[in-house]
Chain A
């Protein structure tokens, strides 16, 4: 009897949803956008020094591998483990190692040290050339830039906004926060604390109110007060909740309706996140892709990798960037205001391959 239900559900789903899909394919549109000026965060302490605080010295796989006299089976196992332990994912790891295996077979690589260098070079090369700048485009004084911060629950969106606000304030820009997380208890209070710390203004709505309305109001206020940048917080949501993702699409549309220009949609990813990070990037990208305003953004514009000061290496963003083309722009390394730094691919890869 149980299987009857499964068959029925499957049929109804495959048919009904299949038709929906087919129709969607038909009407899918491609939107393009252009980015103009830019403004990164101010020069910050090197990622390497910050991260090495959290990690022990080079004692792991890199060293073990390079001290071995030749490339053995164990070398490959250790390399694969290092990649997998960093959460880059089994597919990416296989792909990277396949390239190296070919090079070893062709005798292009003979020494273990060469092997490591080649892996590091390959990974760094894959991360090269991405646009990691935070876009803050000058425009009419009453047309503020809007940065929308999105992500699943508990990744550190509110904290990231707090740090970003402080950095932008230090860079001489006026900032207004939009407390768009009207769902989580006391999220507004949390953001208010950050606004006070950083000297940013804040527009708050009612708990349980419509987040689109709060963000729209915030942008209008910023426009009236000639504020440079609106940092819009949103409630954490799992990408499988269709109603919440629809709400996010609405937020994205409404944010572009008034005087503001949405110049960044930043997806916050927790460094401890495993393979689900890819699904997050894909779904948040789809939900924030504003098809009806083709000149104004193409979904998520960049990734903020938080909590990299722990033991997690955040390798999933390697997969997210190389497979989905979403550049990692910022890295969070702690709870202090200057603990949000630009992403550096070389140092990231270096730390990734280190095994503590």
Chain B
């Protein structure tokens, strides 16, 4: 639904070809687009102002290299800046010399603290530790029950008792000592940063268990309020690290940048799914690309490398650039693509996809009719779709359980694509790599109407 930054900058960049340096006016024009991209990604207004200021300084007068186009160079500067801002120091866990090491979870209602606590416990377990979970959220109905269920799933004990959350936390600490558990994770109730009473309560819990690490859980979908929330929690509790939750959606996650800027503490983990093992260390570079709407290219390439056969993929790509890509090749590559996971996920990570495709719900069996049509063709027809006359099309439609209209559209789309491939191949062969050609691709793609 959002334009990627590169497509935003396209128009401006065209005028800059062949120039040696970026002028102030060029940079300002680009910065307007960069600003919009950041705001659409929910980066805080004030943070955006700081970032664009820094980027401006770096970009003005930057020498333009001949090989890269100026737009790519500016994006590189922006990307580097964001990566630097998101990264830097990482959260290194130093275990307490007198166990247990205490971790306190805090955050707004619904940010994902309870799930986060369980995921963290699982992570500690994988590090060879023996965590104990404490359910100190006595506010939300059945929150403790939820934690107990999750604890059972990962085989980590859960301590809680009704009544006072401060006492529960304290008793939990004693329990960890008694049982010899070396990590204690305290789940707390969600609270609003402006609710002074509840903020005082979490401060009391913190005082009672004296945590080694206080972790703030922030929802990746959070908007401008992230700054106020992070600031308030940091002021009350002194946050050590952040867990960014619900990163498996399509939110661009600018909140991550805002939070990092406001409290200056590292984002340690990203929660990437509902399953308890979907929890990973935070990658600043990937996040930067995501905020800029460049898709999560690295993750995509990683999973593609596993799914595709290397030699086959190279050959297919070569045929593609020569305009000799056939429906057989397509079928073959599609099988590999299927191994990469749900289609909608791949679409989301893909940079430069047309907007309407990106946000769409595409079920995994959506491609089945397409496959059926191709499989109903003879080998010769797959190589030479131009052979398909009316009667052949009717046969294919009947054979695949589709309509002649659907067969027609598939063939037409394929021919359009071949033309585009050829164009790409022709321009791509001039010494530039395939990735450059890709930038032009979505634009050259026919509209579906």
Residues of A at under 8 Å CB distance from B?
A: 1-23, 25-26, 54, 81, 84-87, 89-91, 152-156, 183-187, 189-190, 192-194, 238-243, 245-246, 270-279, 282-283, 286-287, 307, 309-313, 315-316, 335
List 10 A-B residue pairs with CB atoms under 8 Å apart, sorted by A's residue number.
A10-B441, A11-B320, A14-B417, A20-B366, A155-B110, A184-B146, A190-B145, A271-B225, A274-B223, A274-B255
Q: Which residues of B contact A23 (CB under 8 A)?
A: 369, 406, 409
Report Cα–Cα, A274/B108, bound state, in Å: 15
Interface size class of B (residues with CB under 8 A): 35 or more
Report Cα–Cα, A23/B448, bound state, in Å: 9
Selected from A1, A17, A22, A189, the residue in CB contact (under 8 A) with B145 is: A189
A7-B437, A10-B353, A238-B250 known, 11 other contacts, Cβ within 8 Å:
A5-B313, A12-B330, A21-B360, A23-B406, A91-B40, A185-B145, A242-B342, A272-B225, A274-B224, A276-B221, A279-B359
A310, B192: Cβ atoms closer than 8 Å: yes
Chain A proximity mask over B338-364: 1 for CB below 8 Å, otherwise 0:
001011111110111110110111111
Q: Which residues of A contact B162 (CB under 8 A)?
A: none
B140, A238: Cβ atoms closer than 8 Å: no
A242, B361: Cβ atoms closer than 8 Å: yes
Chain A proximity mask over B356-396: 1 for CB below 8 Å, otherwise 0:
11011111101101100000000000000000000000000
Contacting residues of chain B (19-75) with chain A, CB-CB under 8 angstroms:
36, 39-42, 45
A89, B219: Cβ atoms closer than 8 Å: no
| Chain B proximity of A241: nearest CB distance (Å) | 7
A6, B222: Cβ atoms closer than 8 Å: no
| Chain B proximity of A333: nearest CB distance (Å) | 11
Whether, in the assembled complex, B16 has its beta carbon less than 8 Å from a beta carbon of chain A, the answer is: no
| Chain B proximity of A279: nearest CB distance (Å) | 6
Q: Which residues of B contact A315 (CB under 8 A)?
A: 223
Selected from A16, A18, A26, A307, the residue in CB contact (under 8 A) with B192 is: A307
Q: Which residues of A contact B36 (CB under 8 A)?
A: 90
Residue of A with least CB distance to B335: A12
Whether, in the assembled complex, B95 has its beta carbon less than 8 Å from a beta carbon of chain A, the answer is: no
A9, B304: Cβ atoms closer than 8 Å: yes
B110, A154: Cβ atoms closer than 8 Å: yes
Q: Which residues of A contact B406 (CB under 8 A)?
A: 19, 23
Q: Which residues of B contact A307 (CB under 8 A)?
A: 108-110, 192
Report Cα–Cα, A184/B276, bound state, in Å: 12
A17, B362: Cβ atoms closer than 8 Å: yes
| Chain A proximity of B369: nearest CB distance (Å) | 7
A15, B249: Cβ atoms closer than 8 Å: no
Known contacts A13-B347, A154-B112; is-contact A87 B224 (Cβ 8 Å)? yes
Q: Which residues of A contact B366 (CB under 8 A)?
A: 17, 20
Known contacts A8-B308, A185-B146; is-contact A20 B370 (Cβ 8 Å)? yes
Known contacts A5-B313, A16-B367, A152-B249; is-contact A311 B434 (Cβ 8 Å)? no
Whether, in the assembled complex, B156 has its beta carbon less than 8 Å from a beta carbon of chain A, the answer is: no
B110, A270: Cβ atoms closer than 8 Å: yes
Whether, in the assembled complex, B297 has its beta carbon less than 8 Å from a beta carbon of chain A, the answer is: yes
B112, A153: Cβ atoms closer than 8 Å: yes
Report Cα–Cα, A80/B255, bound state, in Å: 19
B363, A246: Cβ atoms closer than 8 Å: yes
| Chain B proximity of A249: nearest CB distance (Å) | 9
B223, A240: Cβ atoms closer than 8 Å: no
Contacting residues of chain B (224-257) with chain A, CB-CB under 8 angstroms:
224-226, 228-229, 232, 246, 248-252, 254-255
Whether, in the assembled complex, B142 has its beta carbon less than 8 Å from a beta carbon of chain A, the answer is: yes
Known contacts A274-B42, A276-B42; is-contact A238 B445 (Cβ 8 Å)? no
Q: Which residues of B contact A90 (CB under 8 A)?
A: 36, 39-40
Report Cα–Cα, A194/B410, bound state, in Å: 52
Whether, in the assembled complex, B435 has its beta carbon less than 8 Å from a beta carbon of chain A, the answer is: yes
Return the 3 tightest CB-CB contacts between A and B, nearest first.
Answer: A274-B223, A154-B110, A274-B42
Residue of B with least CB distance to A157: B110
Whether, in the assembled complex, B141 has its beta carbon less than 8 Å from a beta carbon of chain A, the answer is: yes
Known contacts A4-B314, A16-B367, A275-B42; is-contact A183 B223 (Cβ 8 Å)? no
Q: Which residues of B contact A313 (CB under 8 A)?
A: 225
A241, B110: Cβ atoms closer than 8 Å: no
B108, A272: Cβ atoms closer than 8 Å: yes
A274, B251: Cβ atoms closer than 8 Å: yes
Q: Which residues of A contact B354 (CB under 8 A)?
A: 14
Report Cα–Cα, A190/B112, bound state, in Å: 16
Report Cα–Cα, A200/B197, bound state, in Å: 31
Known contacts A242-B364, A274-B221, A282-B359; is-contact A4 B248 (Cβ 8 Å)? no
B445, A14: Cβ atoms closer than 8 Å: yes
B224, A283: Cβ atoms closer than 8 Å: no
Whether, in the assembled complex, B316 has its beta carbon less than 8 Å from a beta carbon of chain A, the answer is: yes
Report Cα–Cα, A183/B276, bound state, in Å: 13
Report Cα–Cα, A271/B316, bound state, in Å: 48
A25, B449: Cβ atoms closer than 8 Å: yes
| Chain B proximity of A340: nearest CB distance (Å) | 15
Selected from A6, A186, A275, the residue in CB contact (under 8 A) with B301 is: A6
| Chain A proximity of B444: nearest CB distance (Å) | 10
Q: Which residues of A contact B221 (CB under 8 A)?
A: 152, 270, 272-274, 276-277
